[in-house]
Amino acid sequence: MRKWLIVLVSTVLSLSLSFPAVANEKEGPRPEQTLYKADVHIDPKKKQVEGSVEIQFWPKDASHAYVHVYPLAFTKEHKGELWDELLGKEVELGTYDENRILVQGKPVAVKRTGNVIEVPLSEEQSRPIVLSMDFTMTLPQNEGRMSYDEHAIWLGNWLPILAVKDQRGWHLDPYEPIGDPFFSENADYQVNVTLPDGYQLASTATDQAAIVDHSTPGQREFQLDAINVRDFALVIMDSTYHFKETKVGNTEVRTWYRNGDSEEQASRNHTAAVEALQYFNSQFETYPYTEYDVVRVGGSINGMEYPSIVFLDGRHYLPNGDNAFVTVVHETAHQWFYSLIGNNQVDEAWLDEGFAEYATLAFLAAKYPKVGADRVLRRLKQGTITPYYVQEHLRPGQTLHAFPDNESYSDLVYSRTSSMLWMLREAWGEERLHEVLRHYVSTNRFGIANAASWKATLSEAAGEDAGAFLSYWINLDMSKQEEAAIWLEKLRQNQKNHGHPMEKEKAEK
């Protein structure tokens, strides 16, 4: 423990000195890439979504596939403090009816368990399966990721999406009130959205490139394409919405706000998105998508990330919006740690939330030193003082339902993981750590990373096994504390004596 205290004190003393004073087009489809084709009509007045989705995929199991239909979670009442924190206390349930489920054009009998539908398969695996479904949805009203208010409809995790099957089997986790209870693989999306005149949208697609069909009086059809993305989110907005726009490299950054919002705060949020995208481009890898939307929604979700789009609730558009700037930076960091490099957000939430929080700290340290210093110290305090969590057998590397409250989730998943990365930064230096993170992102780009992926990257960069270090930090294994401290000190001395950077990977893109 003593060595960690020495490192922490050293970090505190050095903060004021160490902080400075101041896509290409989306990549084309891969062989055997899953394709989602959706055609939906949205009625903003009735708060209804009606349409169909067709999923073309190569099955990983000859007998069946599973589909997550997350809107089903909001067709029944949830009780408890955690659900109240997520959805609010004044909740109106939605409805969801799926019908005419076909496989290769033939009706099949499906089994529903919670928000998961089991679909029987019978075709050979030598060719892709086409699964289609019609659905009608009345939106719930709540404070969460999928709801509405008088000016907007925001649709997060709304389209049916294939469950992941890997070496551990099928991942069929239920909707949880803590964290982001999702796990998905990259796919291509072709989504046609029909809206009444007078409405506009922002989505995971490059909306400015959408083909818009005005042929039917009183309505418009948007043809949206998104290539190689992890999910597809969508916000429908009325005419009270406007946006600020700046190009960063090949990416158009758009920040959406409403009449009545603070214009000054909207500008600050836009600055945060632009500066963060620029910084993360320079540090971790160039953002591959050509549009990034920061969209003001209702509710109290704080911030919520999706590929190429993030939701930001209205509190962040009030004058001097509470923590708005930092929230935008954090959600932008998720465009790398969640979107570009995926992970199981249910079982290993630390891999996206903790890494995104470290990236946020690094940005603030470089661009806004005072704000950065305060936030780093707070995360270090929360992430290194852990006797209670050891006693309660809580740790960052556990599944979402094992966290008893949002405070423990924040302390362990956000603070302890970002503290671990900050300790590596103290030992290696910013340049070296970010080189290792670039290698990690590049190696797992558009794929799924896990704890073993990070351990392999870290062990390779250090030149020896990082197992004890990660067991102490991520599993809170106190028996590994001294070994982890020795490992980190050796890292520091090797960097001081040699300072050889990791050779940049020369993999063909």
Rounded mean pLDDT of 202-223? Answer: 97
Query: Does the structure show a pLDDT above 90 at 472?
Result: yes
Q: Which of 331, 348, 426, 435 is catalytic?
A: 331
pLDDT band at 506 (very low <50, low <70, confident <90, very high): very low
pLDDT of residue 322: 67
Q: Any catalytic annotation for residue 414? A: yes
Binding-site residue set for Zn(2+):
330, 334, 353
At which residue do the structure tokens 């289609």 appear?
Answer: 132
Query: Does the structure show a pLDDT above 90 at 9?
Result: no
**2-22+347-497 sits in which CATH class?**
mainly alpha
223 burial (CB, 10 Å; 0-12 / 13-18 / 19+) is middle
Least confident of 16-20, 38-42, 288-292, 495-499: 16-20
- Share of residues in the chain with pLDDT > 70 (%): 91
- Share of residues in the chain with pLDDT > 90 (%): 88
Q: Could you give the 3-state DSSP secondary structure of residue 284?
A: coil
pLDDT of residue 2: 43
Q: Which of 338, 414, 440, 472 is catalytic?
A: 414
Rounded mean pLDDT of 15-26? Answer: 40
Which residue ranges make up each domain of the chain? 2-22+347-497
pLDDT band at 503 (very low <50, low <70, confident <90, very high): very low
Full-model pTM: 0.93
pLDDT of residue 500: 53
Mind listing the pLDDT tens digit for each residue in 119-177?
A: 999 866 568 999 999 999 999 999 999 999 999 999 999 999 999 999 999 999 999 99
Mind listing the pLDDT tens digit for each residue in 404-448?
A: 999 999 999 999 999 999 999 999 999 999 999 999 999 999 999
Mind listing the pLDDT tens digit for each residue in 257-271?
A: 999 999 999 999 999
Helix 324-333 × helix 263-283 angle, to 10°: 30
| Rg of the chain (C-alpha set) | 23
Helix 430-444 × helix 355-367 angle, to 10°: 140
pLDDT of residue 32: 81
Cβ neighbors of 407 (< 8 A, separation 6 or more) are: none
pLDDT of residue 284: 97
